[in-house]
Amino acid sequence: MSPDRGPRDTSPTTVDRGPTAATPWVLRIAGAALLAAMGWIHLGLWNDGYRSIDVIGPAFLLNAVASFGLAALLLVAPRPGVAWVAALGALTAAGTLAGLLLSTTVGLFGFTESTAAALWWESFWVESGAVVVLAALAVLTRPRRH
């Protein structure tokens, strides 16, 4: 015992062993929620008038269907397939984000978007978050070679 520090703690220290077993499920749920939000945004915008824009309208509907499908698949995929679904979701979100940024800067398929458009910022943050969460999940759950 040190006079100025009190009794010395001799209990074993906790060693950081990386992510817990719950981490992949937390990321799966977060990733699925972000994909579903991305689908909801695109379906809502398609319904609000984007459906009448050549190429963009069908792309928004396709994005909504793919996003909802990937969200569901992410939740039901067996452990060995999670990395693939997460990677596909990350690529889908990255492509959607790229489309948003291209349409805002140089235009896309003759359509130019504005950051003042309905749900622009929400789309930006949801898609960005989906890329990060799903890429992390893909890396964390990738098959290990022995």
Tokens coding 134: 């799903």
Q: What is the pLDDT of residue 15?
A: 46
Q: List pLDDT tens digits, range 43-84.
A: 999 999 999 999 999 999 999 999 999 999 999 999 989 999
Residue stretches of the chain with pLDDT short of 50: 2, 14-16
C-alpha 94 chain-centroid distance: 9
Q: What is the pLDDT of residue 144?
A: 79
- Write down the pTM of the prediction: 0.82
Q: What is the pLDDT of residue 22?
A: 78
